[in-house]
Amino acid sequence: MEAAPPPAPRAPREARGRAAQRLANSRAKEPERPSPVRLWLRRRRKLLRPMGIGIASIAGIAVVAAGIYALDPTSRLRFIVENFAVFARDNAGFAVQEVEVVGRKNTPKELLYSALGVSRGDPILSFSPEAAKERLETISWVEKASIERHLPDRIVIHLTERAPFAIWQNNNRFAIIDREGREVVADRLDAFGPLPLVVGAGANTTAAGLIEQLHDAPDLLARTQALVRISERRWNLRLYNGADVLLPEGHEEAAIRRLAELQQRDALLDRPLAAIDLRLPDKLVLRPIPTAAPAEQTPQRRGSGRG
């Protein structure tokens, strides 16, 4: 019986360790392919890094500015604010790029942008919405303005304009007024459609109620050429046919109803009248148009001829 062959010699433990290390090193040298999520994060990190630097710088300047302001709150405040706004514009994109105006119909654009006081590319942080609002509300067309600053680059303006209500004539001067009697424009009067004409001192601030009462008597309103304020106390209606309707002081509404009834019943306004006096509630005075007296004919003498 043959003896079994001797076992193969085993490598020393140190040799086995070195082989394992070489295998691990060779595997480590193989590049690891990043996942899609990791690639996305790397790209966003590169994009956000400059903005992060800008925002961090702005935050740092804000801290320094606050310290300087605490030491000297009066003389250096404007300098700090202006320089901070310029830095924010140049380093973080805080510059005006868009101005949106909502509600503008009649306000001239050149007046609006002049009062706004900002241009494209200006630092948006140095723009004061409160100061711009005050300037906008000095424009005659603007009743109310609100301004929003949308960082980093947008300004939104909301306007409430005064509505044209009537044309006011005073001392041969004409102007468009709103319901409260404020002048909004003194030119292009025909650009706003047919508007009631009110005449005289104080007519601008007191005509609204009478105009609304005339809207309840559309036939009379259509015949009325002008509402004339008399001595700043009462009203006359000047009709297109030349007649004057004298209204009582403080009782215009009742007189208008009375006149509308007379027109419906008797066609009073179709008569050739110079004036209709309604100042007394229990009396109606009509003044006809004076007729011209016939011209006198001068008798002509017959010339005597010789026969």
198 and 139 within one domain: no
pLDDT tens track for 260-271? 999 999 999 999
Task: Assess contact for 96 and 152: CB atoms under 8 A.
Answer: no
| Residue scoring higher pLDDT (71 or 170) | 170
Which CATH number does the domain housing residue 222 bear? 3.40.50.11690
As a whole number of angstroms, the distance between CA 49 and CA 40 comes to 14
Residues 242 and 182 in one domain: yes
In a domain, residue 307? The reply is no
Q: Read off the pLDDT of each residue in 232-254 and give the average, rounded to a whole number.
A: 97
Residue 42: CA count within 13 A, CB half-sphere: 6
Query: Are 111 and 208 contained in the same domain?
Result: no
Q: What is the pLDDT of residue 74?
A: 57
pLDDT classification of 297: cutoffs 50, 70, 90: low
Same domain, 143 and 211: no
Same domain as 173, residue 267: yes
pLDDT bin (cut points 50, 70, 90) of residue 48 is very low
Q: For residue 278, tell me if it sits in a domain.
A: yes
Do residues 284 and 194 both lie within one domain?
yes
Same domain? 133 vs 179: no
Query: How much is the average pLDDT of 227-254?
Result: 98
Give tens-digit pLDDT for 10-43.
555 555 556 556 655 555 555 556 665 455 445 5
Residue 193: pLDDT band with limits 50, 70, 90: confident
- Does 6 reside within a domain? no
Whether residue 201 lies inside any domain: the answer is: yes
- The verdict on residue 225 lying in a domain is yes
**Residues above pLDDT 90, as percent of the chain:** 61
Both tokens assigned to 129 = 């919405």
The amino acid that residue 204 corresponds to is N
Residue 307, pLDDT score: 42
Q: Is pLDDT above 90 for 6?
A: no
Structure tokens at 287: 């003044």
222 and 136 co-located in one domain:
no
CA torsion through residues 35, 40, 41, 43, sign: positive
Give me the amino acid identity at 154: R
Same domain flag for 236 and 256:
yes
For residue 2, the model assigns a pLDDT of 46
Given a cut of 60, whether residue 132 has pLDDT beyond it is yes
> Where is pLDDT greater, at 78 or 140?
140
Q: pLDDT per residue over 147-186, tens digit each?
A: 999 999 999 999 999 999 999 999 999 999 999 999 999 8
Report the CATH number that the domain containing residue 109 is assigned in CATH: 3.10.20
pLDDT surpasses 70 at 90: no
The domain in which residue 58 lies consists of: 53-92
Give CA–CA dist 201/171, Å, rounded: 8
Residue 125 belongs to a domain: yes
Tell me, yes or no, whether 43 lies in a domain: no
Number of domains in the chain: 3
Indicate whether 15 belongs to any domain: no
| Tokens read off for 63 | 């801290």
Interhelix angle 109-116/129-136, rounded to 10 degrees, is: 150
Percent of the chain's residues with pLDDT above 70: 64
User: 271 and 176, same structural domain?
Assistant: yes
Indicate whether 180 and 281 sit together in one domain.
yes
* 50 or 263, greater pLDDT: 263
Q: Are residues 171 and 152 in the same domain?
A: no
